[in-house]
Amino acid sequence: MALMITEACTNCDACEPVCPNVAISRGESRYVIDAFRCTECVGADDEPQCLLVCPRPQECIVPNPDFVESREELQNKYDLLHG
């Protein structure tokens, strides 16, 4: 499942540089995650890097309910992005 950034984001800029898929960018009022590029770091790392660096991960970064994907689907997406 892709992740998404909530309105609780403080724009601390910690998440963008650690995303291996370049899925995070600065939006109008907060950072946003491109669900078509987010693999929750499957294929690159053992856990989502944005969650590791976010000062308030439980409040700011949550699963995107519109993009429910299995681990295999996330790996396939990663492979397509980095093929």
Q: Mind listing the pLDDT tens digit for each residue in 18-49?
A: 999 999 999 999 999 999 999 999 999 999 99
Domain assignments of the chain as residue spans, ordered by start:
3-82
**Which pLDDT band, with edges at 50, 70 and 90, does 69 fall under?**
very high
Q: Is 17 left (phi over 0), alpha (psi -120 to 50) or beta?
A: alpha
Q: How many CA atoms lie within 13 A of 9 on its CB side?
A: 25
Mean pLDDT for the stretch of residues 63-76: 97
Q: Which residues contact residue 48 at a Cβ distance below 8 angstroms, ignoring those fewer than 6 apart?
A: 3, 40, 41, 61
> What's the pLDDT score for residue 70?
97
CATH number of the structural domain 3-82: 3.30.70.20
Average pLDDT, the chain: 97
